[in-house]
Homo-oligomer: A and B are copies of this chain.
Amino acid sequence: MTTLIDQTAPKLTPKDFVSDQDVRWCPGCGDYSILKQVQTVLPDLGRPKEEFVFVSGIGCSSRFPYYMDTYGMHSIHGRAAAIATGLKSSRPELSVWMISGDGDSLSIGGNHFIHLLRRNLDINVLLFNNQIYGLTKGQYSPTSEKGKVTKSTPMGSIDHPFNPIALSMGADATFVARTMDRDPKHIQQMIRRGYEHTGTSLIEIYQNCNVFNDGAFEVFTEKTSKKNETLFIENGQPLIFGDNSDKGIILDGFKPKVVDLTQGYSASDCWVHDEQDQVKANILARFFDNPSIEGHLPRPFGVFYAIERPTYNDLLNQQIAYAIEKNGEGNLDKLIAGKETWTIN
């Protein structure tokens, strides 16, 4: 086992991040691709691997840490955010990653999720959204579309689903992005961006569960429909999509509209993406129609929003440092004695 303190140590490769455990997802599961992309990006980040910690909850996706040859914890359902918060607050120098599913983070773990976002701990959150409970064999999840027929909803689900991007914006997240299992390059890009962001980076990843919810994201991932149904957003770039980059988004007042760039509109008419604009990020978040609806908007992928705000871990550790600076390191005898003592001889 190589020791990696040495800065001149050989550069890490993806293989260094592969653990000795058999990967046990169903053949064809979208989780494989995400695992691979993470293992691809990590060696490039220039950090020794002992500094990475992957914390997950419970769910198919949450098995992830077992497959990474880093530190890791497969915890309990919904609580990864809280565990990661404790770890990052007390060990701010570590690179902490949270792996979770739509059930894990938006159902049982919803509260920790929104609190993590508002506190803005410097943690990278990969939210595997397959719009289903995979591990428990196919009940609907808080991101499943209304009307979905599953084992627990034989007459169709009646829950209005969460829009994870909108929810994250409402919880004052400082970094919000979306990507998909079938676009390796894009996942890698998003993971890198998330890593570079100081604060909680929420990356929603559309992930196909080919056993219980196959094809949920097909229109976004399949070659035939992808270009017309997805909108890849990049900071400073106009919102353009379509088979031949022939469609654009303009804002008509506050209403986004699709325009045809071959018919009178040009790229310069289009809305230019600004990652720091909260209002516009909120509008983009609402590009969330069912793709079967006439006149629907394409689904955005990329970084919706990214701003800087002090992190909870920094603030906490600054208070510690300041307290020591101001009062000196704690003196146990003084503490125990308190303000008033008396002596008996």
Which A residues fall within an 8 A CB radius of B?
108-111, 114-115, 118-120, 142, 155, 158-163, 166-172, 254, 277-280, 282-283, 286, 309-310, 312, 315-316, 319, 322-323
Main secondary structure of the interface of A (DSSP, over half): helix
Are B155 and A319 in touch, CB under 8 angstroms?
yes
A168 to B161, CA, bound (A): 14
- Determine the chain B residues whose CB is within 8 A of the CB of A286 once the complex forms: 278-279
- Determine the chain B residues whose CB is within 8 A of the CB of A316 once the complex forms: 158
- Determine the chain B residues whose CB is within 8 A of the CB of A114 once the complex forms: 110, 114, 162, 167
Tallying the copies of this chain within the complex gives 2
- Determine the chain B residues whose CB is within 8 A of the CB of A163 once the complex forms: 172
A169 to B158, CA, bound (A): 20
A205 to B270, CA, bound (A): 41
Q: A108-B111, A118-B159, A279-B279 are in contact. List 5 more A-B contacts (CB 8 A).
A: A114-B162, A119-B160, A158-B310, A158-B316, A166-B169
Are B155 and A312 in touch, CB under 8 angstroms?
no
Whether A118 touches B162, Cβ cut-off 8 Å, given contacts A110-B111, A282-B279, is yes
Are A160 and B309 in touch, CB under 8 angstroms?
yes
Closest chain B CB from A286 CB (angstroms):
7
Q: Which of B160, B169, B172 contacts A120 (CB 8 A)?
A: B160
- Determine the chain B residues whose CB is within 8 A of the CB of A170 once the complex forms: 166-171
A316 to B160, CA, bound (A): 12
Are B120 and A155 in touch, CB under 8 angstroms?
no
Whether A322 touches B279, Cβ cut-off 8 Å, given contacts A170-B171, A172-B162, is no
Q: Residue on B with the closest CB to A315?
A: B158
Q: Which of B120, B167, B171, B279 contacts A283 (CB 8 A)?
A: B279
Are A115 and B110 in touch, CB under 8 angstroms?
yes
- Determine the chain B residues whose CB is within 8 A of the CB of A169 once the complex forms: 166, 170
